[in-house]
Chains A and B, each alone.
Chain A
Amino acid sequence: MIAYLPTFQENNDVTWHVRWNFGGVNWPLLWLFSGVLALLIIASVVGAVLKRTAKSGSTQRTIANLNSRTRAWWKMSAIFAITLLVGKNGSLILFALLSFLALREYITLVPTRRGDHRTLFWTFFIITPLQYYLIAINWYGFFAILIPAFAFIFIPARIALAGDTEHFLERAAKIQFGLMICAYCLSHAPALLILNIPNYEGRDSVLLLYLVLVDQMSDVLQYVWGKLLGRHKITPNVSPNKTWEGFIGGVATATLLGAFLSWATPFTRLQSAGMSLVITLLGFLGGLVMSAIKRDAGVKDFGAVIEGHGGILDRIDSLCFAAPVFFHLVRYFYVR
Protein backbone atom coordinates (compact mmCIF):
# COMPACT_ATOMS: atom_id res chain seq x y z
CA MET A 1 0.00 0.00 0.00
CA ILE A 2 2.82 2.37 0.91
CA ALA A 3 4.66 1.48 -2.25
CA TYR A 4 1.52 2.18 -4.17
CA LEU A 5 0.93 5.70 -2.82
CA PRO A 6 3.87 7.59 -4.37
CA THR A 7 2.95 6.56 -7.91
CA PHE A 8 -0.56 7.61 -7.07
CA GLN A 9 0.65 11.11 -6.23
CA GLU A 10 3.04 11.39 -9.17
CA ASN A 11 0.34 10.40 -11.52
CA ASN A 12 -2.30 13.06 -11.99
CA ASP A 13 -4.51 10.74 -13.90
CA VAL A 14 -6.05 9.29 -10.79
CA THR A 15 -9.12 8.12 -12.60
CA TRP A 16 -7.04 5.89 -14.79
CA HIS A 17 -5.58 4.09 -11.83
CA VAL A 18 -8.95 3.66 -10.26
CA ARG A 19 -10.55 2.56 -13.47
CA TRP A 20 -7.89 0.42 -15.00
CA ASN A 21 -5.03 -0.49 -12.77
CA PHE A 22 -6.96 -1.79 -9.83
CA GLY A 23 -5.32 -4.80 -8.33
CA GLY A 24 -2.16 -4.42 -10.46
CA VAL A 25 -3.77 -6.00 -13.51
CA ASN A 26 -3.26 -4.31 -16.85
CA TRP A 27 -6.93 -4.16 -17.72
CA PRO A 28 -6.70 -2.32 -21.06
CA LEU A 29 -4.33 -5.01 -22.27
CA LEU A 30 -6.72 -7.71 -21.17
CA TRP A 31 -9.68 -5.93 -22.76
CA LEU A 32 -7.84 -5.64 -26.05
CA PHE A 33 -6.85 -9.30 -25.84
CA SER A 34 -10.48 -10.22 -25.29
CA GLY A 35 -11.45 -8.14 -28.30
CA VAL A 36 -8.88 -9.92 -30.46
CA LEU A 37 -10.03 -13.27 -29.12
CA ALA A 38 -13.63 -12.42 -29.98
CA LEU A 39 -12.58 -11.41 -33.52
CA LEU A 40 -10.66 -14.65 -33.98
CA ILE A 41 -13.61 -16.72 -32.82
CA ILE A 42 -15.95 -14.84 -35.15
CA ALA A 43 -13.51 -15.26 -38.06
CA SER A 44 -13.19 -18.99 -37.38
CA VAL A 45 -16.95 -19.47 -37.16
CA VAL A 46 -17.61 -17.43 -40.31
CA GLY A 47 -14.85 -19.36 -42.09
CA ALA A 48 -16.37 -22.70 -41.06
CA VAL A 49 -19.82 -21.62 -42.25
CA LEU A 50 -18.48 -20.31 -45.56
CA LYS A 51 -16.56 -23.53 -46.11
CA ARG A 52 -19.85 -25.47 -46.00
CA THR A 53 -21.67 -23.14 -48.36
CA ALA A 54 -18.91 -22.58 -50.93
CA LYS A 55 -19.85 -24.07 -54.30
CA SER A 56 -17.49 -23.10 -57.12
CA GLY A 57 -13.83 -24.08 -57.21
CA SER A 58 -12.44 -20.58 -57.07
CA THR A 59 -14.63 -19.64 -54.11
CA GLN A 60 -13.54 -22.77 -52.31
CA ARG A 61 -9.92 -21.82 -52.85
CA THR A 62 -10.53 -18.32 -51.52
CA ILE A 63 -12.29 -19.72 -48.45
CA ALA A 64 -9.53 -22.28 -47.87
CA ASN A 65 -6.97 -19.48 -48.03
CA LEU A 66 -9.11 -17.38 -45.69
CA ASN A 67 -9.30 -20.22 -43.18
CA SER A 68 -5.59 -20.93 -43.28
CA ARG A 69 -5.00 -17.23 -42.75
CA THR A 70 -7.30 -17.32 -39.73
CA ARG A 71 -5.45 -20.33 -38.31
CA ALA A 72 -2.18 -18.45 -38.72
CA TRP A 73 -3.76 -15.41 -37.01
CA TRP A 74 -4.56 -17.55 -33.98
CA LYS A 75 -0.93 -18.58 -33.68
CA MET A 76 0.48 -15.12 -34.34
CA SER A 77 -1.90 -13.51 -31.86
CA ALA A 78 -0.99 -16.06 -29.21
CA ILE A 79 2.73 -15.48 -29.66
CA PHE A 80 2.33 -11.71 -29.62
CA ALA A 81 0.08 -11.81 -26.56
CA ILE A 82 2.50 -13.97 -24.61
CA THR A 83 5.47 -11.73 -25.39
CA LEU A 84 3.46 -8.65 -24.41
CA LEU A 85 2.61 -10.25 -21.09
CA VAL A 86 6.23 -11.24 -20.49
CA GLY A 87 7.09 -7.54 -20.69
CA LYS A 88 9.56 -5.34 -22.46
CA ASN A 89 12.22 -8.00 -22.99
CA GLY A 90 9.66 -10.46 -24.30
CA SER A 91 8.52 -7.98 -26.94
CA LEU A 92 12.11 -7.04 -27.77
CA ILE A 93 13.08 -10.65 -28.35
CA LEU A 94 10.01 -11.21 -30.52
CA PHE A 95 10.65 -8.14 -32.68
CA ALA A 96 14.38 -8.84 -32.90
CA LEU A 97 13.52 -12.30 -34.18
CA LEU A 98 11.03 -10.83 -36.65
CA SER A 99 13.69 -8.41 -37.90
CA PHE A 100 16.15 -11.24 -38.29
CA LEU A 101 13.72 -13.46 -40.19
CA ALA A 102 12.42 -10.60 -42.35
CA LEU A 103 15.97 -9.56 -43.23
CA ARG A 104 16.73 -13.15 -44.09
CA GLU A 105 13.81 -13.31 -46.50
CA TYR A 106 14.78 -9.99 -48.03
CA ILE A 107 18.48 -10.78 -48.53
CA THR A 108 17.59 -14.20 -49.93
CA LEU A 109 15.68 -12.44 -52.72
CA VAL A 110 18.25 -9.76 -53.36
CA PRO A 111 21.30 -10.76 -55.36
CA THR A 112 24.46 -10.42 -53.30
CA ARG A 113 27.95 -11.55 -54.17
CA ARG A 114 30.64 -13.52 -52.48
CA GLY A 115 32.32 -10.25 -51.44
CA ASP A 116 29.28 -9.34 -49.34
CA HIS A 117 29.52 -12.37 -47.12
CA ARG A 118 31.26 -10.80 -44.13
CA THR A 119 29.09 -7.69 -44.40
CA LEU A 120 26.02 -9.88 -44.25
CA PHE A 121 27.33 -11.66 -41.21
CA TRP A 122 27.69 -8.29 -39.46
CA THR A 123 24.26 -7.22 -40.60
CA PHE A 124 22.55 -10.30 -39.20
CA PHE A 125 24.53 -11.08 -36.10
CA ILE A 126 25.91 -7.76 -34.86
CA ILE A 127 23.95 -4.76 -36.13
CA THR A 128 20.40 -6.14 -35.87
CA PRO A 129 20.79 -7.54 -32.33
CA LEU A 130 22.60 -4.36 -31.25
CA GLN A 131 19.69 -2.25 -32.46
CA TYR A 132 17.38 -4.13 -30.09
CA TYR A 133 19.91 -4.21 -27.29
CA LEU A 134 19.99 -0.41 -27.39
CA ILE A 135 16.24 -0.37 -26.77
CA ALA A 136 16.69 -2.85 -23.93
CA ILE A 137 19.12 -0.49 -22.18
CA ASN A 138 16.98 2.59 -22.98
CA TRP A 139 19.73 4.29 -25.03
CA TYR A 140 17.47 6.28 -27.34
CA GLY A 141 20.22 8.52 -28.77
CA PHE A 142 22.28 5.62 -30.09
CA PHE A 143 19.23 3.58 -31.11
CA ALA A 144 18.11 6.43 -33.39
CA ILE A 145 21.41 6.67 -35.29
CA LEU A 146 23.01 3.23 -35.19
CA ILE A 147 21.70 2.13 -38.58
CA PRO A 148 21.15 5.41 -40.48
CA ALA A 149 24.56 6.80 -39.48
CA PHE A 150 26.97 4.06 -38.46
CA ALA A 151 25.71 1.03 -40.38
CA PHE A 152 25.26 3.33 -43.36
CA ILE A 153 28.98 4.00 -43.39
CA PHE A 154 30.03 0.56 -42.26
CA ILE A 155 28.32 -1.43 -45.02
CA PRO A 156 29.97 0.14 -48.10
CA ALA A 157 33.27 0.30 -46.25
CA ARG A 158 33.20 -3.38 -45.41
CA ILE A 159 32.21 -4.31 -48.97
CA ALA A 160 35.01 -2.15 -50.36
CA LEU A 161 37.49 -3.85 -48.05
CA ALA A 162 36.38 -7.20 -49.47
CA GLY A 163 37.63 -5.89 -52.81
CA ASP A 164 34.86 -6.81 -55.26
CA THR A 165 33.69 -3.73 -57.19
CA GLU A 166 31.15 -5.40 -59.46
CA HIS A 167 27.73 -3.73 -58.94
CA PHE A 168 29.24 -2.13 -55.86
CA LEU A 169 26.74 0.68 -55.33
CA GLU A 170 23.79 -1.63 -55.94
CA ARG A 171 24.98 -4.19 -53.45
CA ALA A 172 25.70 -1.66 -50.74
CA ALA A 173 22.40 0.13 -51.30
CA LYS A 174 20.38 -3.08 -51.26
CA ILE A 175 21.85 -4.26 -47.99
CA GLN A 176 21.37 -0.82 -46.45
CA PHE A 177 17.76 -0.71 -47.58
CA GLY A 178 17.03 -4.13 -46.11
CA LEU A 179 18.62 -3.20 -42.82
CA MET A 180 16.64 0.04 -42.68
CA ILE A 181 13.29 -1.60 -43.39
CA CYS A 182 13.65 -4.86 -41.52
CA ALA A 183 15.69 -3.80 -38.51
CA TYR A 184 15.58 -0.02 -38.12
CA CYS A 185 11.98 0.72 -39.06
CA LEU A 186 10.52 -2.33 -37.37
CA SER A 187 12.44 -1.74 -34.15
CA HIS A 188 10.44 1.46 -33.66
CA ALA A 189 7.42 -0.62 -32.71
CA PRO A 190 8.90 -2.12 -29.52
CA ALA A 191 10.77 1.17 -28.96
CA LEU A 192 7.36 2.51 -27.91
CA LEU A 193 8.06 0.66 -24.69
CA ILE A 194 10.84 3.05 -23.70
CA LEU A 195 8.86 6.23 -24.28
CA ASN A 196 7.95 7.71 -20.94
CA ILE A 197 4.60 9.17 -21.81
CA PRO A 198 3.36 11.37 -18.94
CA ASN A 199 0.21 10.04 -17.28
CA TYR A 200 0.55 6.81 -19.23
CA GLU A 201 3.06 4.96 -17.06
CA GLY A 202 2.92 1.21 -17.10
CA ARG A 203 0.76 1.10 -20.19
CA ASP A 204 3.42 1.28 -22.95
CA SER A 205 2.64 -2.28 -23.91
CA VAL A 206 -0.94 -1.19 -24.59
CA LEU A 207 0.32 1.42 -27.05
CA LEU A 208 2.41 -1.22 -28.83
CA LEU A 209 -0.63 -3.45 -29.04
CA TYR A 210 -2.67 -0.49 -30.34
CA LEU A 211 -0.16 0.12 -33.15
CA VAL A 212 0.02 -3.53 -34.16
CA LEU A 213 -3.74 -4.00 -33.86
CA VAL A 214 -4.68 -0.98 -35.99
CA ASP A 215 -1.97 -1.77 -38.53
CA GLN A 216 -2.84 -5.43 -38.91
CA MET A 217 -6.59 -4.83 -38.78
CA SER A 218 -6.12 -2.30 -41.55
CA ASP A 219 -4.46 -5.02 -43.65
CA VAL A 220 -7.24 -7.47 -42.85
CA LEU A 221 -10.02 -4.95 -43.49
CA GLN A 222 -8.48 -3.84 -46.78
CA TYR A 223 -8.34 -7.51 -47.78
CA VAL A 224 -11.95 -8.12 -46.71
CA TRP A 225 -13.34 -4.97 -48.35
CA GLY A 226 -11.30 -5.72 -51.45
CA LYS A 227 -12.68 -9.27 -51.66
CA LEU A 228 -16.25 -8.06 -51.10
CA LEU A 229 -16.40 -4.98 -53.30
CA GLY A 230 -13.04 -4.67 -55.07
CA ARG A 231 -13.37 -3.53 -58.70
CA HIS A 232 -10.97 -0.70 -59.51
CA LYS A 233 -7.30 -1.50 -59.22
CA ILE A 234 -5.05 1.16 -57.73
CA THR A 235 -1.71 0.00 -59.11
CA PRO A 236 -2.25 -3.00 -61.40
CA ASN A 237 1.47 -3.11 -62.20
CA VAL A 238 2.61 -3.31 -58.61
CA SER A 239 -0.06 -5.13 -56.65
CA PRO A 240 -3.06 -6.44 -58.60
CA ASN A 241 -4.92 -7.23 -55.37
CA LYS A 242 -5.11 -3.65 -54.14
CA THR A 243 -8.34 -1.94 -55.13
CA TRP A 244 -9.76 1.48 -54.39
CA GLU A 245 -12.77 -0.14 -52.74
CA GLY A 246 -10.56 -2.23 -50.47
CA PHE A 247 -8.30 0.70 -49.73
CA ILE A 248 -11.04 3.20 -48.86
CA GLY A 249 -13.13 0.67 -46.95
CA GLY A 250 -10.13 -0.65 -45.05
CA VAL A 251 -8.68 2.73 -44.18
CA ALA A 252 -12.07 4.08 -43.09
CA THR A 253 -12.97 1.10 -40.88
CA ALA A 254 -9.49 0.79 -39.38
CA THR A 255 -9.52 4.51 -38.58
CA LEU A 256 -12.90 4.08 -36.96
CA LEU A 257 -11.56 1.16 -34.96
CA GLY A 258 -8.63 3.33 -33.86
CA ALA A 259 -10.98 6.10 -32.76
CA PHE A 260 -12.98 3.56 -30.81
CA LEU A 261 -9.82 2.35 -29.05
CA SER A 262 -8.84 5.82 -27.79
CA TRP A 263 -9.68 4.76 -24.20
CA ALA A 264 -6.59 2.54 -24.26
CA THR A 265 -4.26 5.29 -25.52
CA PRO A 266 -2.94 8.65 -24.36
CA PHE A 267 -4.92 10.23 -27.24
CA THR A 268 -8.32 11.87 -27.38
CA ARG A 269 -10.86 10.20 -29.63
CA LEU A 270 -10.12 12.55 -32.54
CA GLN A 271 -6.37 12.26 -32.05
CA SER A 272 -6.66 8.50 -31.97
CA ALA A 273 -8.58 8.57 -35.25
CA GLY A 274 -5.81 10.73 -36.73
CA MET A 275 -3.09 8.41 -35.48
CA SER A 276 -4.93 5.40 -36.88
CA LEU A 277 -5.36 7.14 -40.21
CA VAL A 278 -1.61 7.75 -40.34
CA ILE A 279 -0.91 4.11 -39.39
CA THR A 280 -3.25 2.74 -42.05
CA LEU A 281 -2.02 5.04 -44.83
CA LEU A 282 1.61 4.24 -44.08
CA GLY A 283 0.76 0.59 -43.78
CA PHE A 284 -0.74 0.74 -47.24
CA LEU A 285 2.38 2.39 -48.62
CA GLY A 286 4.57 -0.19 -46.89
CA GLY A 287 2.65 -3.00 -48.52
CA LEU A 288 2.87 -1.26 -51.86
CA VAL A 289 6.64 -0.71 -51.67
CA MET A 290 7.33 -4.27 -50.63
CA SER A 291 5.06 -5.51 -53.43
CA ALA A 292 7.12 -3.48 -55.88
CA ILE A 293 10.27 -5.18 -54.59
CA LYS A 294 8.67 -8.62 -54.96
CA ARG A 295 7.53 -7.76 -58.48
CA ASP A 296 11.01 -6.62 -59.36
CA ALA A 297 12.46 -9.86 -58.03
CA GLY A 298 9.80 -11.90 -59.85
CA VAL A 299 8.21 -13.58 -56.84
CA LYS A 300 4.76 -13.49 -55.29
CA ASP A 301 5.74 -13.75 -51.63
CA PHE A 302 8.89 -13.27 -49.59
CA GLY A 303 8.54 -16.77 -48.19
CA ALA A 304 6.14 -19.47 -47.12
CA VAL A 305 6.64 -19.70 -43.37
CA ILE A 306 3.21 -18.39 -42.37
CA GLU A 307 0.33 -20.52 -43.62
CA GLY A 308 -1.78 -18.57 -46.13
CA HIS A 309 0.12 -15.33 -45.64
CA GLY A 310 3.48 -16.00 -47.27
CA GLY A 311 6.63 -14.90 -45.49
CA ILE A 312 7.25 -12.90 -42.33
CA LEU A 313 8.01 -9.82 -44.40
CA ASP A 314 4.71 -10.15 -46.27
CA ARG A 315 2.92 -9.94 -42.93
CA ILE A 316 4.88 -7.07 -41.37
CA ASP A 317 5.62 -4.88 -44.41
CA SER A 318 2.90 -2.42 -43.37
CA LEU A 319 4.18 -2.30 -39.80
CA CYS A 320 7.70 -1.49 -40.99
CA PHE A 321 6.41 1.73 -42.55
CA ALA A 322 3.89 2.66 -39.87
CA ALA A 323 6.07 2.06 -36.80
CA PRO A 324 8.74 4.79 -37.17
CA VAL A 325 6.23 7.50 -38.07
CA PHE A 326 3.85 6.53 -35.28
CA PHE A 327 6.76 6.36 -32.83
CA HIS A 328 7.96 9.86 -33.69
CA LEU A 329 4.48 11.36 -33.71
CA VAL A 330 3.92 10.00 -30.20
CA ARG A 331 7.37 11.05 -29.09
CA TYR A 332 7.03 14.58 -30.50
CA PHE A 333 3.51 15.34 -29.35
CA TYR A 334 3.05 13.29 -26.19
CA VAL A 335 6.42 12.98 -24.52
CA ARG A 336 6.93 16.32 -22.82
Chain B
Amino acid sequence: MSAKIHPFARVIAALARGISGVQVRWLGCIPEPRQRIYFANHTSHLDFVVLWSSLPVDLRANTRPVAAKDYWQSGFRSFLAQKVFRAVLVERGAAARLHEEHKGEEHAHSAAFAVIQQLAEAMGERDSLIFFPEGTRGTGETVVEFKSGLYHLAKRRPDVELIPAYLENLNRILPKGEFLPAPLVSTLTFGAPIRVEDGEHKHDFLERARNAVVSLRQKGRAEQ
Protein backbone atom coordinates (compact mmCIF):
# COMPACT_ATOMS: atom_id res chain seq x y z
CA MET B 1 0.00 0.00 0.00
CA SER B 2 1.45 3.34 -0.98
CA ALA B 3 1.11 6.56 0.95
CA LYS B 4 -1.32 9.13 -0.32
CA ILE B 5 -0.19 12.31 -2.08
CA HIS B 6 -1.53 15.50 -0.53
CA PRO B 7 -3.71 17.46 -3.02
CA PHE B 8 -1.57 20.55 -2.40
CA ALA B 9 1.47 18.56 -3.44
CA ARG B 10 -0.12 17.81 -6.81
CA VAL B 11 -0.94 21.48 -7.40
CA ILE B 12 2.51 22.68 -6.34
CA ALA B 13 4.19 20.02 -8.46
CA ALA B 14 2.21 21.03 -11.55
CA LEU B 15 3.05 24.70 -10.95
CA ALA B 16 6.72 23.94 -10.42
CA ARG B 17 6.87 21.94 -13.62
CA GLY B 18 5.20 24.76 -15.51
CA ILE B 19 7.42 27.49 -14.13
CA SER B 20 10.63 25.52 -14.48
CA GLY B 21 9.81 24.01 -17.89
CA VAL B 22 11.94 21.13 -16.72
CA GLN B 23 13.32 18.65 -19.22
CA VAL B 24 14.13 15.38 -17.55
CA ARG B 25 16.91 13.03 -18.63
CA TRP B 26 17.56 9.62 -17.19
CA LEU B 27 21.12 8.94 -18.30
CA GLY B 28 22.50 6.29 -15.99
CA CYS B 29 19.34 4.67 -14.67
CA ILE B 30 15.63 4.47 -15.25
CA PRO B 31 12.79 5.31 -12.88
CA GLU B 32 12.13 2.17 -10.88
CA PRO B 33 9.95 1.38 -7.88
CA ARG B 34 12.82 0.58 -5.53
CA GLN B 35 14.35 2.33 -2.55
CA ARG B 36 16.70 5.07 -3.58
CA ILE B 37 18.40 8.16 -2.32
CA TYR B 38 18.40 10.88 -4.95
CA PHE B 39 21.11 13.41 -4.15
CA ALA B 40 21.40 16.65 -6.08
CA ASN B 41 22.92 20.11 -6.15
CA HIS B 42 20.88 22.74 -4.33
CA THR B 43 20.27 26.31 -5.50
CA SER B 44 16.56 27.00 -5.20
CA HIS B 45 13.41 26.31 -3.26
CA LEU B 46 12.11 24.75 -6.44
CA ASP B 47 14.80 22.02 -6.42
CA PHE B 48 12.95 19.49 -4.35
CA VAL B 49 9.54 20.04 -5.96
CA VAL B 50 10.98 19.90 -9.47
CA LEU B 51 12.92 16.71 -8.73
CA TRP B 52 9.96 15.14 -6.97
CA SER B 53 7.48 16.02 -9.72
CA SER B 54 9.86 14.70 -12.37
CA LEU B 55 9.51 11.21 -10.95
CA PRO B 56 6.72 9.06 -12.36
CA VAL B 57 3.51 9.52 -10.39
CA ASP B 58 3.61 6.08 -8.80
CA LEU B 59 7.04 6.75 -7.31
CA ARG B 60 6.18 10.13 -5.83
CA ALA B 61 4.04 8.90 -2.96
CA ASN B 62 7.01 6.98 -1.58
CA THR B 63 9.65 9.64 -2.13
CA ARG B 64 10.28 12.09 0.70
CA PRO B 65 12.55 15.13 0.91
CA VAL B 66 15.10 15.62 3.62
CA ALA B 67 14.87 19.19 4.90
CA ALA B 68 16.55 21.34 7.52
CA LYS B 69 14.61 21.48 10.75
CA ASP B 70 15.72 25.03 11.61
CA TYR B 71 14.26 26.41 8.36
CA TRP B 72 11.17 24.29 7.84
CA GLN B 73 9.73 23.79 11.30
CA SER B 74 7.55 26.86 11.82
CA GLY B 75 4.18 28.05 10.51
CA PHE B 76 3.31 27.66 6.86
CA ARG B 77 6.69 26.17 6.04
CA SER B 78 6.08 23.46 8.55
CA PHE B 79 2.69 22.73 6.99
CA LEU B 80 4.28 22.50 3.55
CA ALA B 81 7.17 20.36 4.68
CA GLN B 82 5.47 17.99 7.06
CA LYS B 83 1.87 17.73 5.92
CA VAL B 84 2.13 18.29 2.18
CA PHE B 85 5.44 16.66 1.26
CA ARG B 86 6.05 14.44 4.30
CA ALA B 87 9.56 15.82 4.64
CA VAL B 88 12.01 14.24 7.01
CA LEU B 89 13.18 17.20 9.11
CA VAL B 90 16.70 16.84 10.37
CA GLU B 91 19.00 18.97 12.42
CA ARG B 92 21.48 20.50 10.05
CA GLY B 93 25.17 20.20 10.86
CA ALA B 94 24.47 18.91 14.36
CA ALA B 95 27.65 16.93 14.58
CA ALA B 96 29.89 19.71 13.27
CA ARG B 97 28.41 22.25 15.65
CA LEU B 98 28.86 20.09 18.70
CA HIS B 99 32.36 19.39 17.58
CA GLU B 100 33.14 23.09 17.29
CA GLU B 101 31.61 23.79 20.67
CA HIS B 102 34.15 21.36 22.12
CA LYS B 103 31.54 19.12 23.59
CA GLY B 104 33.83 16.29 22.65
CA GLU B 105 34.02 13.80 19.82
CA GLU B 106 31.64 11.47 21.52
CA HIS B 107 28.77 13.97 21.67
CA ALA B 108 29.34 14.97 18.07
CA HIS B 109 29.40 11.39 17.02
CA SER B 110 26.21 10.49 18.80
CA ALA B 111 24.39 13.53 17.38
CA ALA B 112 25.39 12.57 13.87
CA PHE B 113 24.42 9.02 14.60
CA ALA B 114 21.00 10.15 15.78
CA VAL B 115 20.35 11.98 12.48
CA ILE B 116 21.44 9.00 10.40
CA GLN B 117 19.35 6.73 12.57
CA GLN B 118 16.36 9.05 12.03
CA LEU B 119 16.84 9.03 8.24
CA ALA B 120 17.30 5.28 8.07
CA GLU B 121 14.15 4.78 10.08
CA ALA B 122 12.23 7.29 7.97
CA MET B 123 13.10 5.31 4.87
CA GLY B 124 11.77 2.16 6.42
CA GLU B 125 11.05 -0.64 4.04
CA ARG B 126 9.78 1.28 1.03
CA ASP B 127 10.47 5.04 1.07
CA SER B 128 13.05 6.83 -1.01
CA LEU B 129 14.70 10.12 -0.05
CA ILE B 130 15.62 13.30 -1.86
CA PHE B 131 18.77 14.67 -0.35
CA PHE B 132 20.76 17.86 -0.88
CA PRO B 133 24.17 17.02 0.55
CA GLU B 134 25.53 20.55 0.16
CA GLY B 135 23.37 21.34 3.17
CA THR B 136 22.20 24.72 1.91
CA ARG B 137 21.27 26.54 -1.26
CA GLY B 138 24.20 27.87 -3.30
CA THR B 139 24.44 30.45 -6.07
CA GLY B 140 24.55 27.82 -8.80
CA GLU B 141 28.04 28.60 -10.05
CA THR B 142 29.71 25.77 -8.17
CA VAL B 143 28.64 22.72 -6.23
CA VAL B 144 30.24 23.01 -2.80
CA GLU B 145 31.67 20.19 -0.70
CA PHE B 146 29.16 17.61 0.49
CA LYS B 147 28.27 17.14 4.14
CA SER B 148 29.03 13.72 5.53
CA GLY B 149 25.42 12.61 6.06
CA LEU B 150 25.24 10.99 2.64
CA TYR B 151 28.24 8.79 3.44
CA HIS B 152 26.94 7.64 6.80
CA LEU B 153 23.49 6.95 5.44
CA ALA B 154 24.96 5.01 2.53
CA LYS B 155 26.98 2.91 4.98
CA ARG B 156 23.95 2.39 7.12
CA ARG B 157 21.70 1.36 4.22
CA PRO B 158 23.93 -0.40 1.67
CA ASP B 159 20.82 -1.96 0.11
CA VAL B 160 19.62 1.43 -1.17
CA GLU B 161 20.69 2.87 -4.53
CA LEU B 162 22.33 6.29 -4.51
CA ILE B 163 21.30 8.27 -7.60
CA PRO B 164 23.14 11.50 -8.44
CA ALA B 165 21.07 14.23 -10.06
CA TYR B 166 21.94 17.62 -11.46
CA LEU B 167 19.43 20.46 -11.50
CA GLU B 168 20.39 23.07 -14.03
CA ASN B 169 19.16 26.66 -14.24
CA LEU B 170 16.89 26.60 -11.22
CA ASN B 171 19.19 29.14 -9.59
CA ARG B 172 18.16 31.49 -12.39
CA ILE B 173 14.47 30.65 -12.14
CA LEU B 174 14.03 31.15 -8.41
CA PRO B 175 17.28 32.13 -6.72
CA LYS B 176 17.76 32.27 -3.00
CA GLY B 177 16.01 35.31 -1.57
CA GLU B 178 13.59 35.84 -4.47
CA PHE B 179 9.88 35.29 -4.28
CA LEU B 180 8.85 35.73 -7.91
CA PRO B 181 10.17 33.41 -10.60
CA ALA B 182 11.77 34.10 -13.98
CA PRO B 183 10.32 31.22 -16.00
CA LEU B 184 13.32 29.88 -17.90
CA VAL B 185 13.80 26.32 -19.05
CA SER B 186 15.60 23.99 -16.65
CA THR B 187 17.14 20.58 -17.03
CA LEU B 188 17.20 17.71 -14.58
CA THR B 189 19.64 14.90 -15.25
CA PHE B 190 19.72 11.63 -13.35
CA GLY B 191 23.00 9.73 -13.47
CA ALA B 192 24.20 6.20 -12.80
CA PRO B 193 23.90 4.89 -9.23
CA ILE B 194 26.99 4.95 -7.04
CA ARG B 195 27.86 3.11 -3.84
CA VAL B 196 30.45 3.23 -1.11
CA GLU B 197 33.28 0.94 -2.17
CA ASP B 198 34.89 -1.43 0.30
CA GLY B 199 37.28 0.46 2.49
CA GLU B 200 36.58 3.76 0.79
CA HIS B 201 37.27 6.77 2.95
CA LYS B 202 34.52 9.19 3.83
CA HIS B 203 36.23 12.10 2.17
CA ASP B 204 36.98 10.17 -1.02
CA PHE B 205 33.43 8.94 -1.30
CA LEU B 206 31.94 12.39 -0.76
CA GLU B 207 34.23 13.87 -3.39
CA ARG B 208 33.30 11.10 -5.81
CA ALA B 209 29.61 11.66 -5.11
CA ARG B 210 30.05 15.39 -5.70
CA ASN B 211 31.83 14.72 -8.99
CA ALA B 212 29.04 12.36 -10.00
CA VAL B 213 26.60 15.25 -9.61
CA VAL B 214 28.80 17.84 -11.30
CA SER B 215 29.60 15.56 -14.24
CA LEU B 216 25.91 15.42 -15.16
CA ARG B 217 26.03 19.08 -15.99
CA GLN B 218 28.23 18.53 -19.01
CA LYS B 219 26.48 15.35 -20.03
CA GLY B 220 23.17 17.14 -19.93
CA ARG B 221 24.50 19.76 -22.33
CA ALA B 222 26.08 17.29 -24.71
CA GLU B 223 22.91 15.21 -24.93
CA GLN B 224 21.01 18.23 -26.11
Q: Which residues of A contact B (CB under 8 A)?
A: 100, 104-105, 107-108, 112, 114, 116-118, 120-121, 124-125, 299-301, 303-304
Contacts and interface: CB of A to CB of B under 8 A. Distances in A.
Interface string B68-80: 0000000000000
Contact of B185 (A105, A114, A124): A105
Instruction: Give the most central of B21, B172, B182: most A CB within 10 Å.
Output: B182
Most-contacted residue by chain A among B139, B175, B184 (CB, 10 A): B184
A120 B178 CA distance: 12
B182 A121 contact: yes
25 contacts: A100-B183, A104-B21, A104-B183, A104-B184, A104-B185, A105-B185, A107-B182, A107-B184, A108-B169, A114-B139, A114-B175, A116-B182, A117-B175, A117-B178, A117-B182, A120-B182, A121-B180, A121-B181, A121-B182, A124-B182, A124-B183, A299-B224, A301-B224, A303-B185, A304-B23
Interface of B: 21, 23, 139, 169, 172, 175, 178, 180-185, 224
A107 B181 CA distance: 13
A116 B181 CA distance: 12
Contacts of B23: 304
Contacts of B172: 112, 117
Contacts, number: 35
Chain B binding surface SS class: loop
A266 to B, nearest CB: 39
Contacts of B183: 100, 104, 124
A303 B182 CA distance: 17
A117 B172 CA distance: 7
Most buried by A among B139, B181, B185, B224: B185
A100 B181 CA distance: 14
A104 B139 CA distance: 21
Contacts of A118: 178, 180
A304 B184 contact: no
A108 B19 CA distance: 13
Nearest to B180: A121
Contacts of B185: 104-105, 108, 303
Contacts of A108: 169, 184-185
Contacts of B224: 299-301, 304
Given A104-B21, A104-B185, A121-B180, 20 more contacts: A100-B183, A104-B183, A104-B184, A105-B185, A108-B169, A112-B172, A117-B175, A117-B182, A118-B178, A118-B180, A121-B181, A121-B182, A124-B182, A124-B183, A299-B224, A300-B224, A301-B224, A303-B185, A304-B23, A304-B224
Contacts of B180: 118, 121, 125
A303 B185 CA distance: 9
A124 B185 CA distance: 13
